[in-house]
């Protein structure tokens, strides 16, 4: 259980360092908004990690075992990649910074594959629920460290030192890999077809499979686009990095937890379809709070209000989204099919974020956040096909 918690922390560290925190660094270095938006493409490995996941299932490293061996390889590579990013210069050599960030994202996605497999293998049936909770707790704490804390520290030290410190935090995951238990009875699959082909064939035999995949891509696109430009937007309004770190990252974190817990409770009475409709609408409308902040300008009360509304409503949408993903997985192939769906979720984040800088630069902040609200409509329209989809778990 302790290893699961520490590995959750290790998994949560790299994402912000190639995302929002890197955006803040580039903004302070006066990098063009269009370039900042394009940098979202470095997160592509999170969207296609299912492609190489069978390799990490089939082959066993010559040390520590199948799971912990791969964990150590990924974590050492991550530490070296983040240290290399510390020496980069985003304004002078954005290409080098992008290559290093892509490498970090690749090994981060690889670590996620192994961590998910590790906790599935090592936890007993009775430990699955508590273990999942501890993993998420570790992940969320790490997001605060590499997001909120990193931004606050950057007001008092160089970005180079900030990334040095963030690389050091991966020692937590390395310790878990070295001293955690290796799962028992984790024999590698004998057939590539059994490990890869069968789960996907089963999924695409489902009625409305391609509609479901499209829905997974665009249901949270409005929140993705709004979040992609939040940090540059708040910096542009004149808020300090300390304020952004403490309010948008810190306070926003707790607001998201409130939304997630409330969403779970509400779904019991609303059911799946009505939850997807209701939460999808409120998460889209929530973007208007940032539109109002853009209109008012440098306003602390409106900043706190907007962050609260945005994160609570995003939490509501996330819980329905996650529950829907679980509901459409065949129990026989839940790991592979869930990996496919989470990869699509990550793909939506990457491609949805890429043009965000260009759009914000040419439309202005108010119109940009209005666009984010309108982007919610296509996903809601797909929900009219909900009855055509089989949402009962099969197998």
State the chain's mean pLDDT as an integer: 81
Topology of the domain covering 1-188: Growth Hormone; Chain: A; (1.20.1250)
Most confident of 39-43, 79-83, 206-210, 268-272: 79-83
Query: Residues 136-164: pLDDT tens digits?
Result: 778 878 888 888 788 888 888 888 899 99
- CATH 1.20.1250.20 residue ranges of the chain are 1-188, 191-395
CATH superfamily of domain region 191-395: MFS general substrate transporter like domains (1.20.1250.20)
Query: Residues 65-81: pLDDT tens digits?
Result: 778 888 999 999 999 99
Which position has the higher pLDDT, 329 or 247?
247
For residue 337, what pLDDT is reported? 66
- Provide mean pLDDT across the span 121-150: 73
- Provide mean pLDDT across the span 52-61: 78
Q: How confident is the model at residue 208 (pLDDT cuts 50, 70, 90)?
A: confident
Which position has the higher pLDDT, 203 or 349?
203
For residue 84, what pLDDT is reported? 92
pLDDT surpasses 60 at 344:
yes
Q: How confident is the model at residue 167 (pLDDT cuts 50, 70, 90)?
A: very high
For residue 326, what pLDDT is reported? 61
Distances (CA, A) of 256 to 69, 125, 221: 34, 28, 17
Q: How confident is the model at residue 95 (pLDDT cuts 50, 70, 90)?
A: confident
pLDDT surpasses 80 at 234:
yes
Q: Which two tokens stand for residue 202?
A: 């089963």
Most confident of 141-150, 227-236, 283-292: 283-292
Q: Is the pTM higher than 0.85?
A: no
Q: Which of 169-178, 212-221, 242-251 has the lowest mean pLDDT?
A: 242-251
């Amino acid at each position: 259980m302790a290893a699961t918690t520490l590995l959750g922390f290790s998994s949560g560290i790299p994402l912000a360092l190639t995302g929002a925190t890197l955006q803040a660094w580039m903004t302070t270095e006066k990098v063009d908004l269009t370039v900042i938006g394009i940098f979202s493409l470095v997160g592509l490995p999170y969207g296609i990690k299912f492609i190489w996941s069978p390799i990490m299932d089939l082959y066993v490293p010559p040390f520590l075992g199948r799971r912990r061996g791969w964990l150590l390889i990924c974590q050492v590579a991550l530490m070296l990649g983040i240290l290399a990013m510390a020496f980069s210069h985003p304004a002078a050599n954005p290409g080098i910074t992008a290559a290093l960030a892509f490498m970090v994202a690749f090994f981060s996605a690889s670590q996620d594959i192994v961590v998910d497999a590790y906790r599935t293998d090592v936890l007993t049936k009775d430990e699955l629920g508590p273990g999942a909770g501890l993993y998420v707790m570790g992940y969320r704490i790490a997001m605060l460290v590499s997001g909120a804390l990193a931004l606050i520290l950057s007001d008092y030290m160089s970005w180079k030192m900030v990334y040095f410190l963030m690389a050091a935090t991966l020692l937590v995951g390395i310790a878990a890999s070295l001293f955690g238990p290796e799962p028992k009875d984790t024999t590698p699959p004998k057939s590539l077809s059994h490990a890869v082909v069968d789960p996907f064939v089963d999924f695409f035999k489902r009625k409305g499979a391609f509609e479901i995949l499209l829905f997974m891509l665009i249901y949270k696109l409005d929140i993705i686009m709004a979040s992609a430009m939040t940090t540059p937007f708040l910096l542009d309004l004149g808020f300090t990095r300390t304020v952004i770190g403490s309010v948008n990252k810190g306070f926003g974190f707790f607001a998201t937890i409130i939304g997630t817990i409330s969403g779970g409770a509400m779904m019991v009475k609303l059911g799946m379809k009505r939850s997807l409709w209701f939460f999808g609408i409120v998460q889209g409308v929530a973007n208007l709070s940032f539109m109002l902040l853009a209109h008012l300008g440098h306003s602390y009360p409106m900043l706190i209000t907007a962050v609260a509304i945005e994160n609570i409503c995003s939490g509501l949408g996330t819980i329905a989204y996650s529950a829907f993903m679980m509901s459409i997985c065949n129990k026989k192939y839940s790991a592979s099919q869930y990996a496919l769906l989470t990869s699509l979720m990550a793909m939506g984040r990457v491609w949805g974020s890429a043009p965000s800088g260009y759009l914000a630069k040419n439309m202005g902040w108010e119109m940009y956040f209005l666009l984010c609200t309108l982007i919610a409509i296509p996903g809601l329209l797909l929900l009219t096909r909900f009855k055509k989809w089989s949402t009962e778990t099969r197998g």
